[in-house]
Amino acid sequence: MTPERSGGETLLPLAFPIDLALTVASHGWADLAPWRWDPETGVLARGERIGGELGAIAAVQREPAAIIVRWDGFGANAGPEIIRRVERWLSADWDPADAVALLGEDAELIGRGGGRMLRCSTFYEDFVKTVLTINTVWSSTRRMAAALVAEPGGGAFPGPEAVLDYGEALLRGRAKLGFRAPTVISATRRMLEDGTIDRAGDGRPDHEYLLALSGIGPYAAAHCRLLLHDFSRIPVDSVVTAYVRERHASDPAAFAASRAAWGAYLALGYRLARLREKLDAAI
């Protein structure tokens, strides 16, 4: 007998200040499939696959200390996994106390619930989407992410085994990943073989391990570690380089040296400064 699939809703209490809208605004992940963000209603949603079932999970905030989690299309036993995924999206278990103490006035947005970068449901999805940002424009990153969700994901982001089954040729030709296809395939295979990620795509590889993966350079490794709460390095790409040149008449290395007081939270201080400027510009 097929298990009954249904919807539900629960309240997720927050141990630390988290502002859903500020988290979404932290970077561009919410613009990539299968995410859907409606700024008017404040609903963040996405398709997910749990235990072979394809459904949808949504999060919305009505009060500062909690998130409303809604879902549809999953069996009765999926609740704990649904909550685990939403907690990962929002870094609900990250304690910002040390960052606040070190960053001082630069940490003002953390008190308002900022400071967290939106994360995907697994490290593997964050990793692949980081690869999709290498040497390309944002419209191409969006197109590649959508292609992976449509096929081989079938409505949700594909796990590592589904990507390997899909293969390099289809990643190149149908999903249009181009030179990124062999990087994704070789890294996926190696991380699974080494046990750095599990079959679901969960894992916490360190910076040196990521740098040793074929096709992964300093930017991608730093960005992946940033999404694992390692804030010690700024993921330097063309956007960062242009920003520090235009805003601070500097280069990334000199900018980092000038912010040595931020210590292990260098990248977080940088992200908070960029977010503050983004919010100021919207006023």
CATH number of the domain that 15 lies in?
3.30.310.20
User: Is 231 part of any domain?
Assistant: no
What pLDDT score was predicted for residue 243?
Answer: 94
Identify the domain boundary among 226, 249, 271.
226
CA-CA-CA-CA torsion for 207, 210, 212, 217, nearest 10 degrees?
-90
Identify the domain boundary among 226, 249, 273.
226
In terms of Cα–Cα distance, which of 141, 147, 179 is closest to 163? Answer: 147
Which CATH number is 185's domain given? 1.10.340.30
User: Is 233 part of any domain?
Assistant: no
Judge if pTM exceeds 0.75: yes
What pLDDT score was predicted for residue 4?
Answer: 55
What pLDDT score was predicted for residue 281?
Answer: 83
Are the C-beta atoms of residues 280 and 247 closer than 8 Å to each other?
Answer: no
Q: Provide the number of structural domains found in the chain.
A: 3
Same domain? 209 vs 272: no
Residue ranges of the chain with per-residue pLDDT less than 50:
1-3
Q: Encode pLDDT of 205-250 as tens digits.
A: 999 999 999 999 999 999 999 999 999 999 999 999 999 999 999 9
The rounded distance, in Å, linking the Cα atoms of 283 and 280 is: 5
User: Is 117 part of any domain?
Assistant: no
Range of the domain at 213: 123-226
Same domain? 132 vs 78: no
159 Cα distance to chain centroid? 15
Same domain? 162 vs 65: no
68 Cα distance to chain centroid? 20
Same domain? 136 vs 197: yes
What pLDDT score was predicted for residue 280?
Answer: 83
User: Is 118 part of any domain?
Assistant: no
What pLDDT score was predicted for residue 80?
Answer: 96
Rounded to 5 degrees, what angle do the CA atoms 239, 242, 244 make? 105
User: Is 18 part of any domain?
Assistant: yes
What pLDDT score was predicted for residue 197?
Answer: 98
